[in-house]
């Protein structure tokens, strides 16, 4: 980012800094200081395009205002000076009785926030200057029309009056006159409307509409500053992950008038179709109107092409300018313009927002056109856009309306019969029925049901609740926190506004929008997903080039094949340039195989806990209840062959690539029955006579195992150290599986990973046991399969003592889920639904630290651990396997922190590959933002 001399926002010398900048002083690189609009107005001015003169009050002034509650000292003088310059340039005086200068005051933040912030046009009009404007323009109607617009806009945005009151007055005037459009109102009507608007201002704000032009400017500027913190602006920023502390700039520009009659007008245009990326003329034009009318939809616009007939000269000039802008920005530009009596003025341009499909198509196409190179193309697409292209979507033409809305937690479109518990989901799924699991919240117990379901709907919880996190990990459609619905488990039904839905009834859940519909809505499959899953793109498709070309996909700019081709091309480039490897979190052979098709180069985290569920639970129960070593061994012996088969399957699916198998992590009580349920069962049995002895023993054990804070309790490495034989069984299963795969001609590359290590002593103790088992299997089998033993770094203490831990660990993998929990002291499952919404709202963070890595805190621990770990053991392989491994912004951090790989759920592997590539090409470039 470059700044003009002396105005870097980081310069401590505030006195030397200017808060106001002429358009001619800035450039498009200065969005942080001048906002997007100001920076691009400056760029257009310097390109010599017809931009009305003006100046920008910097975001810095806004930040000062918001922090201190008043304008920075000196701002008023600076504005005076720049207004004087503007007056001199236009040969008019602001608010003068004769030939007054009018200005617009418009917000413009670093990132565009469409419709979120304020604009006021026609500032400078008052009872005294309206006649001067009429005389100068020779159009009395125009002058009064501008005045009524000013009062309306000022009243609404600056004085906070309900805009509906002004609209109602305008509608009334049209009705009284018997006209359909505001163009049918005459001078007298508008004069009356002005009087009415002024009365509304008086009634609602308790003050007269300000008659001093300079006061109008100051009030409007302040209102723009304050609009940064409106609820809707904050909500938008939360959604878009835009920091709350950037502030907005304010642009003050000489007015040009689109409402000066039929040879005037205003319009918006795109240099390409933002939905498809196709070049062409896209836009709307409205005659005899001011900017806001186009978006407000008060009259019907005409397609931009018709401007050619209306005003060919302006149309031709606009086409030339659009071509020039696209050539200059080398991207789709979005433009606002006004024609004042046949003279074209450019009011705004920016690199336009686009759909995900258009982003990919356009980037690839601009490469084909020789406008940009592949590195730049990669900077122009995002992992979030790719994720959007991967999910199936509802056919929006269906016309059915949603009966409830929740938080869109995991995108996609799911249709199925409602079920209320895991067992029912599993049973119906086994019968081939598609189901939606509807729960108040989910817990690890619901896992089988979540796996069986096509979609998940919860009435409580946020974006990082258990349901949301697990569903995203599975790539499963999920809507959480749909608070409109009330679940009645007893009657097996839920109610929502005006509906009652019973078990077995079909609903449709849109994980992209959060909408829930009754009945079945048609789903359109994603061609990008089909292609990625086929493994024909990029990395996974290497060597299968012929197949990619011969798959019946005609590479072209349009349609589905155009998107598929573009995605394939950019993925290929991302794989070529990225340094960071991408592994997957997978614990079944199916997931491993899928991850491989998606381009994963190994498994970074194979969680072993699900291998203890279902049928196998009873062995864990036996293990916990065992009263002798003999009983314990019996339970472990029963588990050993099952585990061995688990690992053999996974190693086969990932043959030749590393498979990091993590020893059991969660507290054992998670595998025992629920305390309350069991206590009730025993109590009821006691009422009726004698409870079952087994149940009694189990209840005792469950009580004994109960923990206040299981997250910080007997789990991870601690389990291995206190439950005899458990780790040995798992390690033996891994080693024997590796031997079996080697004998079968495979190339197994298992690694053993110890979770939740806090100190090197824990790891040392466990390693002694692990090494002994490995040596034993090796000796017995006569086959030497090297198996590295490493650890997760998921406690702050582990990160801070990483140098010592690295003397014992052969690799590190950051468990950023637990590292975030323990660094912040947040229990994820408890805090997300409880107070995260308030935290996000208050700006404690812009995005949940469980979603995007907290670089400042958790990231710092990671940097320390990387440096100290590698100092102690040069070349130490380091990865990350927490949720953040698949989060686009976090991937970049991990790349820059020097990690070797990120590991994420199979469905996020393509996103991580793309983001790793983007990180490689933006690191050298200094960062690019496609937001």
Residues with catalytic annotation?
A: 466, 881
Among 326, 331, 818, 868, binds Mg ion (CB under 5 A): 818
Query: Which is nearer to Mg ion, 408 or 666 (by Cβ)?
Result: 666
Residues 663-702: x where in contact with ligand PEP by CB under 6 A, - otherwise, as a string: --x-------------------------------------
CA 72 to chain centre: 34
Query: Which is nearer to ligand PEP, 45 or 817 (by Cβ)?
Result: 817
Q: How far is the CB of 286 from Mg ion (least distance, A)?
A: 57
Q: How far is the CB of 666 from ligand PEP (least distance, A)?
A: 8
587 binds Mg ion (CB under 5 A): no
587 binds ligand PEP (CB under 6 A): no
Q: How far is the CB of 911 from Mg ion (least distance, A)?
A: 21
817 binds ligand PEP (CB under 6 A): yes
140 binds, among ligand PEP, Mg ion, none (CB under 5 to 8 A by kind): none
Query: Which is nearer to Mg ion, 121 or 853 (by Cβ)?
Result: 853
Query: Which is nearer to ligand PEP, 477 or 821 (by Cβ)?
Result: 821
881 binds ligand PEP (CB under 6 A): yes
**Alpha carbon distance 689, 682 (integer Å):** 10
Instruction: List for the chain the helix, strand, coil content (%; round to 5).
Output: 50, 15, 35
815 binds Mg ion (CB under 5 A): yes
Phi-psi region of 693 (alpha: psi -120 to 50; beta: other; left: phi over 0): alpha
Q: How far is the CB of 230 from ligand PEP (least distance, A)?
A: 36
Among 300-308, 435-443, 638-646, 813-821, the segment contacting ligand PEP (CB under 6 A): 813-821
Among 255-263, 612-620, 684-692, 816-824, the segment contacting ligand PEP (CB under 6 A): 816-824
Q: How far is the CB of 719 from ligand PEP (least distance, A)?
A: 13
Sign of the torsion angle spanned by Cα atoms 395, 400, 401, 402 = negative
- Name the β-bridge partners of 879: 813, 901
Q: Which of 654, 662, 663 is nearest to 583 (CA)?
A: 654
Q: How far is the CB of 683 from ligand PEP (least distance, A)?
A: 34
Among 95-103, 407-415, 743-751, 812-820, the segment contacting ligand PEP (CB under 6 A): 812-820
882 binds, among Mg ion, ligand PEP, none (CB under 5 to 8 A by kind): ligand PEP
And the tokens for 196? Answer: 């009415």
Among 794, 810, 832, 851, binds ligand PEP (CB under 6 A): 794
607 binds, among ligand PEP, Mg ion, none (CB under 5 to 8 A by kind): ligand PEP
And the tokens for 603? Answer: 């498994």
Q: How far is the CB of 817 from ligand PEP (least distance, A)?
A: 3
And the tokens for 517? Answer: 């519909």
> Binding residues for Mg ion, how many (CB under 5 A)?
3
Sign of the torsion angle spanned by Cα atoms 907, 415, 419, 469 = positive
311 binds, among ligand PEP, Mg ion, none (CB under 5 to 8 A by kind): none
Which residue ranges are tagged as binding site for substrate? 607, 662, 794, 815-818
Return the residues of window 818-857 that contact ligand PEP according to CB under 6 A: 818
Phi, psi angle pair for 624, to nearest 5°: -70, -35
Return the residues of window 777-796 that contact Mg ion according to CB under 5 A: 794
**Residue 684: how many other CB atoms lie within 10 Å:** 10
Which residue ranges are tagged as binding site for Mg(2+)? 794, 818
539 binds, among Mg ion, ligand PEP, none (CB under 5 to 8 A by kind): none
Query: Which is nearer to ligand PEP, 562 or 879 (by Cβ)?
Result: 879
Q: How far is the CB of 812 from ligand PEP (least distance, A)?
A: 12
**Alpha carbon distance 37, 34 (integer Å):** 7
Query: Which is nearer to Mg ion, 810 or 818 (by Cβ)?
Result: 818
Cα-based distances in Å from 606 to 405, 603, 662, 716, 812: 35, 7, 6, 14, 15
Q: How far is the CB of 665 from ligand PEP (least distance, A)?
A: 6
Asked if 295 and 363 count as a contact pair (C-beta separation under 8 A), the reply is no
Asked if 242 and 931 count as a contact pair (C-beta separation under 8 A), the reply is yes
Query: Which is nearer to ligand PEP, 607 or 616 (by Cβ)?
Result: 607
Give Dmax (Cα) for the chain: 105
Among 21-29, 46-54, 477-485, 817-825, the segment contacting Mg ion (CB under 5 A): 817-825
Residues 588-627: x where in contact with ligand PEP by CB under 6 A, - otherwise, as a string: -----------------x-x--------------------
- Name the β-bridge partners of 290: none
Q: Which of 857, 921, 869, 872 is nearest to 899 (CA)?
A: 869
718 binds, among Mg ion, ligand PEP, none (CB under 5 to 8 A by kind): none
Query: Which is nearer to ligand PEP, 258 or 815 (by Cβ)?
Result: 815
Which residue ranges are tagged as binding site? 607, 662, 794, 815-818
Return the residues of window 17-46 that contact Mg ion according to CB under 5 A: none
Return the residues of window 275-334 that contact Mg ion according to CB under 5 A: none
Q: How far is the CB of 474 from ligand PEP (least distance, A)?
A: 14
Query: Which is nearer to ligand PEP, 562 or 882 (by Cβ)?
Result: 882
**Alpha carbon distance 805, 646 (integer Å):** 29
And the tokens for 137? Answer: 């323009």
816 binds ligand PEP (CB under 6 A): yes
Q: Which of 701, 625, 717 is nearest to 664 (CA)?
A: 717
Query: Which is nearer to ligand PEP, 349 or 643 (by Cβ)?
Result: 643
**Alpha carbon distance 798, 793 (integer Å):** 6
Among 122-130, 341-349, 554-562, 815-823, the segment contacting ligand PEP (CB under 6 A): 815-823
User: Which residue's entry shows tokens 């910080």?
Assistant: 712
Asked if 914 and 381 count as a contact pair (C-beta separation under 8 A), the reply is yes
**Alpha carbon distance 752, 735 (integer Å):** 10
Among 258, 291, 667, 815, binds ligand PEP (CB under 6 A): 815
Phi-psi region of 557 (alpha: psi -120 to 50; beta: other; left: phi over 0): alpha
Asked if 717 and 757 count as a contact pair (C-beta separation under 8 A), the reply is yes
First to last CA, the chain: 16
Three-state SS for 222-266 is: HHHHHHCCCHHHHHHHHHHCCCCCCCEEEEEEECCCCCCCCCCEE
And the tokens for 523? Answer: 């789903």
Asked if 156 and 166 count as a contact pair (C-beta separation under 8 A), the reply is yes
Asked if 248 and 117 count as a contact pair (C-beta separation under 8 A), the reply is yes
- Name the β-bridge partners of 518: 507
Interaction site with ligand PEP (CB under 6 A): 605, 607, 665, 794, 815-818, 881-882
């Amino acid at each position: 980012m470059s700044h003009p001399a002396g105005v870097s926002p980081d310069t401590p010398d505030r006195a030397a800094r200017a808060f106001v900048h002429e358009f001619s002083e800035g450039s498009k690189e200065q969005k942080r200081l001048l906002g997007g609009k100001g920076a691009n107005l400056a760029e257009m001015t310097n390109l010599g395009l017809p931009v009305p003169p003006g100046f920008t009050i910097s975001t810095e002034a806004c930040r000062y205002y918001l922090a201190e509650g008043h304008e920075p000292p000196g701002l008023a003088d600076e504005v005076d000076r720049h207004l004087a310059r503007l007056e001199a340039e236009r040969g008019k005086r602001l608010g003068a009785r004769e030939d007054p200068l009018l200005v617009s005051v418009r917000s413009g933040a670093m990132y565009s926030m469409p419709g979120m912030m304020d604009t006021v046009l026609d500032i400078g009009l008052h009872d005294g200057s309206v006649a001067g404007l009429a005389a100068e323009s020779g159009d009395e109607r125009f002058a009064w029309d501008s005045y009524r617009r000013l009062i309306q806009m000022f009243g609404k945005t600056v004085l906070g009056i309900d805009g509906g009151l002004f609209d109602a007055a305008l509608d009334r005037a049209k009705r009284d006159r018997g006209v359909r459009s505001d163009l049918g109102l005459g001078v007298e009507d508008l004069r009356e409307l002005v009087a009415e608007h002024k009365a509304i201002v008086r009634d609602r704000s308790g003050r007269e509409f300000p008659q001093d032009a300079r006061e109008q400017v100051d009030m409007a500027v302040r209102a723009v500053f304050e609009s940064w913190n409106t609820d809707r602006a904050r909500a938008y920023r939360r959604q878009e992950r835009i920091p709350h502390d950037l502030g907005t700039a304010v642009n003050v520009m000489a007015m040009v008038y689109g409402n000066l009659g039929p040879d005037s007008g205003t319009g918006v245009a795109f240099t390409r179709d933002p939905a498809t990326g196709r070049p062409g003329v896209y836009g709307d034009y409205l005659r005899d109107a001011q900017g806001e009318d186009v978006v407000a939809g008060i009259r019907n616009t005409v397609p931009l092409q018709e401007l050619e007939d209306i005003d060919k000269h302006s149309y031709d000039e606009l086409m030339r300018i659009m071509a020039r802008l696209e050539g200059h920005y080398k991207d789709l530009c979005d433009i606002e313009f006004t024609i004042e009596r046949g003279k074209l003025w450019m009011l705004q341009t920016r690199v336009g927002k686009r759909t995900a499909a258009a982003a990919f198509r356009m980037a690839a196409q601009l490469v084909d056109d020789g406008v940009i190179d592949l590195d730049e193309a990669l900077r122009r697409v995002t992992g979030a856009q790719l994720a959007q292209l991967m999910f199936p979507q509802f056919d929006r033409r269906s016309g059915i309306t949603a009966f409830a809305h929740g938080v869109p937690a995991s995108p996609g479109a799911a249709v199925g019969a409602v079920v209320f518990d895991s067992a029912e989901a599993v049973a119906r799924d086994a019968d081939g029925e598609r189901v939606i699991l509807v729960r108040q919240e989910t817990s690890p117990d619901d896992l089988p049901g979540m796996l069986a379901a096509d979609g998940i709907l919860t009435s409580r919880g946020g974006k990082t609740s258990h349901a949301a996190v697990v569903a995203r990990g599975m790539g499963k459609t999920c809507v959480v926190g749909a608070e409109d619905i009330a679940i009645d488990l007893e009657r097996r039904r839920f109610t929502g506004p005006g509906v009652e839905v019973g078990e077995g009834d079909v609903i449709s859940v849109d994980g992209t929008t959060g909408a829930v519909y009754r009945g079945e809505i048609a789903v359109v499959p994603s061609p990008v997903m089909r292609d990625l899953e086929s493994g024909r793109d990029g990395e996974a498709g290497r060597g299968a080039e012929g197949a990619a070309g011969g798959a019946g996909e005609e590479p072209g700019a349009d349609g589905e094949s155009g998107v598929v081709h573009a995605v394939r091309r950019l993925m290929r480039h991302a794989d070529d340039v990225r340094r960071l490897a991408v592994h997957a979190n997978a614990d079944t052979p199916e997931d491993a195989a899928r991850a491989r098709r998606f381009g994963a180069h190994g498994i970074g985290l194979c969680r072993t806990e699900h291998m203890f569920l279902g049928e196998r639970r009873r062995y864990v129960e036996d293990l916990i209840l065992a009263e002798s070593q003999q009983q314990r061994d019996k339970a472990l012996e029963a588990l050993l062959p099952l585990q061995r088969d688990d690992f053999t399957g996974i190693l086969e699916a990932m043959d030749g690539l590393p498979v990091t198998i993590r020893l059991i992590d969660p507290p054992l009580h998670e595998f025992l029955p629920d305390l309350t349920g069991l206590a009730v069962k025993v109590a009821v049995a006691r009422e009726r006579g004698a409870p079952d002895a087994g149940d009694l023993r189990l209840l005792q054990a469950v009580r004994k195992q109960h923990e206040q804070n299981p997250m910080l309790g007997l789990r991870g490495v601690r389990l291995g150290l206190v439950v005899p034989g458990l780790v040995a069984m798992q390690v033996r299963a891994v080693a024997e599986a590796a031997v079996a795969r080697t004998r079968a001609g495979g190339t197994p590359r298992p690694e053993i990973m110890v979770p939740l290590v806090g100190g090197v002593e824990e790891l040392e103790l466990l390693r002694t046991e692990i090494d002994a088992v490995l040596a034993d299997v090796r000796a017995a089998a006569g086959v030497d399969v090297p198996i590295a033993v490493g650890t997760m770094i998921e406690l702050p203490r582990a990160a801070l003592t990483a140098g010592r831990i690295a003397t014992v660990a052969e690799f590190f993998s950051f468990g950023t889920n637990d590292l975030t929990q323990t660094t912040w002291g947040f229990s994820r499952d408890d805090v997300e639904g409880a107070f995260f919404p308030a935290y996000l709202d208050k700006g404690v963070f812009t995005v949940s630290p469980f979603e995007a890595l907290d670089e400042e805190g958790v990231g710092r621990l990671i940097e320390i651990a990387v440096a100290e770990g590698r100092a102690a053991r040069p070349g130490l392989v380091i990865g990350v396997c927490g949720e953040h491994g698949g989060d686009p912004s976090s991937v970049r951090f991990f790349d820059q922190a020097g990690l070797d790989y990120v590991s994420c759920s199979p469905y996020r592997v393509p996103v991580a590959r793309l983001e790793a590539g983007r990180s490689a090409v933006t690191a050298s470039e200094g960062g690019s933002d496609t937001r």
